[in-house]
Chains A and B, each alone.
Chain A
Amino acid sequence: MTSSSDDTERPANDGPHEDGRGGAEERLRRPDDHIDAAASVDPSSGDTGSGGGSGSGGEITQPKLGFVGWLRWFWRQLTSMRTALFLLLLLAVAAVPGSLVPQRSSDPNGVTQYFRDNPDLAPFLDKLQAFDVYTSAWFSSIYILLFISLIGCVIPRTKHHFDALRAKPPRTPVRLGRLAGYTERDGVGSLDDAAEAARAQLRSAGYRVAVFEKPGEKSVSAERGYLRETGNLVFHSALVGILVTVGFGGGFGFAGQRVLVEGQTFVNTLGAFDSFNPGRFFDPDTLDPYSLTLTDMAVTYEQQNQKAFGQPIDYTATVQVTEQDGASSEQTIKVNEPLNTGGTNIYLLGNGYAPQITVRDPDGTVVFTDAIPFLPQDAQLTSIGVVKIPDGLAEQLGMIGLFYPTQGAQQPPYFSSYPDLEYPVLTLQVFEGDLGIDAGTPTSVFTLDTDSMTEIAGGKADAKALELMPGQTQELPNGLGTVTFEDAANPSGDAAPPVTEESDAAGTAGTDYSKSVLRFASLDIHHDPTQGWVLVFALLVLAGLVTSLFIPRRRVWVKVHDVGGGALRMEYAGLARGDDPGLDAAVAAVADRHSAGFTPDAAAVAEGDEAVAPPESPDARA
């Protein structure tokens, strides 16, 4: 399509003037305001038009519309090109607010934050569904209308296209002179031979052909590029396909999250997820109860490049997957390489440290021990976690922990200077009082509600925050008991380890801490049976698009006049159906090739040798 743009070329479609040109235009059941659609229908045109409803505005001009009339009118408006265009642009505009305001679906914390920052505006915006733009009533109505319009457009066009595929090319216009690429040649030969040669030539070039005859004149009407319309229909239908699969298909899957600390095992059952969002039609009984153990969560940090020192360059979770039938295998999950097992895809979406903390009562009895996932706060993995000890001590106890994988300051405020475990320090702020978890209101494992608690270490309390390195133990204030930061590389025994004094940097320097704290992986586990279908439709969209934009649909006419004495006058012209930059060149090429057979020389040498074309009926098409 690129090479044909020489200076003589006119734009293939120079505007809406071509409608009904030369009476050749059949009814085209695209929307009435489509550029290609015939404004008026020539009664002599092809036999494809049927009586009902496809003329231009017949119903609208009826004096009384009536209910059905109004419906028809409305439907016609809805399925017009102008409406489609308007809805498309409206859709683009409507999508904008969702990028300006945080969305619940993609950024729930952002929404909470927004409410905090704009307490007056936020509730109002919420009423407008500005935090759920893409599921909002207004956004949905735009795209639903658009798709109704689309379906209303595609169905009649598909039917028409099937008819067109079986129909003969339309009658040759009486006057070709005003059509695209018009050219005339003179030649010698017989009328029948020339017409037959044109027919054969166009047919072998992939045109559908029909021959028409008048006294002293024979003409070939040819059309090609039906695939263009096919592509267009495939494209639009596949869009509907995507919408439907995403809309309904999403209901058959689920999405769940689970945080797994090294050594922990997840069994694919409902209760094992930290959060679980089933689709409407999902049946939890269909979960395949495989089990998955996180054996290792490895992170590699950049150490060569000083400018990017400490930047993560690889996350790899190694897992042991055991199928229901007992088959077990070791697998890895990486960021761009999800694991597919048991009908689910498992994605590695986050990781961090999970310090193991043990709390003992004053007698040395363990009242709590667990590896607590701490949420990373920055690139150096300064992390925050919460420990809640509801039972076993004199008071309910809550602790807010800050973990620094490589603590870099001489004295508080502390910070982490490197994300790996070089010099890990955990500080704990301790609260006693009511954890607020007995009331039955759900509370997050990552937040501590300190409203009805008293701070007893750190912050404004008398005692300093507790500070621990792996393997160390400290006394809780008020003789409540002890806290131990377990060294994952050297787990402590059951007996209470000796209480160390203030942590002592000198005593621990040079120690290898690289395995002293466990890591966790945060995994997303999804099941989406329709994903493959979405991909198929997407590929159809792409294929349809390419076909419909690049295959030219055009008509070409060759008309041969017998001007007496064995002399012929041959006319050639074309008509673009849609954008067709190469039309003029194509008509010229047809003319050159065809007329070459009827120059005086050619006629003398090989009379009638063109007439060996296959003896098919003119309109037969494979």
Chain B
Amino acid sequence: MSVIALYSAMAVYAIAFIAYAIDLAKRSSSIDEVAEGASSTAAASAGLNVTAAGGYGSTATITSSAPVTGAPRGYGRSAALRVGVALTVVAWLLHLAADILRGLAAGRVPWANMYEFAMTGTLIIVAVFLVTNLFVDVRFLGTFVTGLVLILLGLASVNFYVAVSPLPPALQSIWLVIHVFVAATSVGLFALGFGLSVVQLLQFRRESIAVGAKATGLRLLATLPSSDKLEALAYRINIIGFILWTFTLMAGAIWAEKAWGRYWGWDTKEVWTFIIWVIYAGYIHARATRGWRGSRSAWLAIIGFSAVLFNFTVVNLFFKGLHAYSGL
């Protein structure tokens, strides 16, 4: 049952992914269609009809003035984008059902081995994405989020799948519920922060090139927020992630004390949790250091999330340690 629901969710995510991709493609072309000085809000108000802006006729290359002001090109709600979001919500509900069913089948929280953690973790990534959208429009990250989630879920169901099994004694603790859930939530936030930082770098490149009055390849970026805005948003998301990660680390230490008799022992998983924490602390410092704001700090956020992924995959599977709960 849970597996069927999960596969359906993946199918819907895949369609959502395509919808987002179409949206991105349309963004590229809409830039061609929006006339230079014309009010770019025309496209924004177009609602279902993205090509409404086509009426302005003349194709335009981006000149230095418009994009560097940082104001996003008015590119509003395309049909594809709306479909993408709606499908993401549907897929997320299916995903949630799969997760709950798994939990019911096991009679405990569904995040006690790698398969389950991947399943719940991706659920939370999408949830963070959807919730963030209630406050700020980050729908342009839809391809990234659904793509990432699809890859992770695919990996998980093909390589990590394990049948429902009871909790080994070391995991029978309230800290399993708290520690792992909070960890998954901060991973969700870091993932979004990562996406924003990548777009920020691309945007920054485009902006610097645009200053030199050259047209650039990734035209769709003109429909996205300025790199400054992206950076501010990425920072806000990453610091919430960082706080939760700090909590994860501490909760893990408390749990380790109960289960293994010491709160910190430089076990491989502890080492990587620490490394990630220090990288993000570096990121926060970089944002406050002259000469490091902007692209350099964005790279730190990207490295940070890469370390998160590394911690979940490589460290879990190939490194030896006490955290041998992958179930594989």
Nearest chain A CB to B151's CB is how many angstroms away?
A: 24
State whether A99 and B289 are in contact (beta carbons under 8 Å apart), knowing that A88-B281, A89-B279, A549-B239 are contacts in the complex: no
* In-complex Cβ contact of B271 among A12, A36, A98, A549 (8 A): A98
Nearest chain A CB to B57's CB is how many angstroms away?
A: 27
Binds B, one of A285-293, A329-337, A599-607: A329-337
User: B259 near A96 (CB under 8 angstroms)?
Assistant: no
CB of B172 within 8 A of chain A?
A: yes
* In-complex Cβ contact of B168 among A92, A307, A313, A541 (8 A): A313
Interface of chain B, main secondary structure? helix
User: B278 near A92 (CB under 8 angstroms)?
Assistant: yes
Nearest chain A CB to B292's CB is how many angstroms away?
A: 7
User: A88 near B236 (CB under 8 angstroms)?
Assistant: no
CB of A91 within 8 A of chain B?
A: yes
**Cβ contacts under 8 Å, B232 to chain A:** 11-12, 579, 581
User: A314 near B169 (CB under 8 angstroms)?
Assistant: yes
How far, in angstroms, from A14 to B265 measured CA to CA in the complex?
Answer: 42
**Cβ contacts under 8 Å, A2 to chain B:** 135-136, 236
Nearest chain B CB to A120's CB is how many angstroms away?
A: 22
19 A-B residue pairs with Cβ-Cβ distance under 8 Å, sorted by A, are: A7-B72, A11-B229, A14-B228, A16-B290, A16-B293, A35-B290, A35-B293, A81-B285, A88-B285, A89-B279, A95-B274, A99-B268, A106-B267, A133-B266, A308-B165, A312-B169, A347-B261, A535-B254, A545-B242
CB of A619 within 8 A of chain B?
A: no
Closest to A335 in B: B169
Binds A, one of B114-122, B139-147, B212-220, B243-251: B243-251
User: A89 near B168 (CB under 8 angstroms)?
Assistant: no
CB of A34 within 8 A of chain B?
A: yes
Closest to A313 in B: B166
In chain B between 127 and 166, which residues have their CB closer than 8 angstroms to a CB of chain A?
Answer: 135-136, 163-166
User: A85 near B286 (CB under 8 angstroms)?
Assistant: yes
Question: What is the total number of residues of chain B having a CB less than 8 Å from a CB of chain A?
Answer: 67
How far, in angstroms, from A567 to B217 measured CA to CA in the complex?
Answer: 55
**Cβ contacts under 8 Å, A110 to chain B:** 320
User: A335 near B172 (CB under 8 angstroms)?
Assistant: yes
User: B286 near A335 (CB under 8 angstroms)?
Assistant: no
How far, in angstroms, from A394 to B131 measured CA to CA in the complex?
Answer: 80
CB of A443 within 8 A of chain B?
A: no
Q: Which residues of B contact A (CB under 8 A)?
A: 71-72, 135-136, 163-170, 172-173, 175, 228-229, 231-233, 235-236, 239, 242-243, 246-247, 250, 253-255, 257-268, 271-272, 274-275, 278-279, 281-282, 285-294, 300, 315, 319-322
Interface centre among A34, A99, A100 (most CB of B within 10 A): A99
CB of A454 within 8 A of chain B?
A: no
State whether A102 and B320 are in contact (beta carbons under 8 Å apart), knowing that A12-B232, A336-B172 are contacts in the complex: yes
Q: Which 7 A-B pairs have the closest CB atoms?
A: A308-B165, A347-B261, A307-B163, A335-B169, A11-B232, A336-B173, A81-B289
How far, in angstroms, from A246 to B257 measured CA to CA in the complex?
Answer: 14
Nearest chain B CB to A3's CB is how many angstroms away?
A: 6
CB of A531 within 8 A of chain B?
A: yes
Nearest chain B CB to A81's CB is how many angstroms away?
A: 4
**Cβ contacts under 8 Å, A255 to chain B:** 261-262
Closest to B71 in A: A7
How far, in angstroms, from A295 to B261 measured CA to CA in the complex?
Answer: 22
**Cβ contacts under 8 Å, B172 to chain A:** 314, 335-336
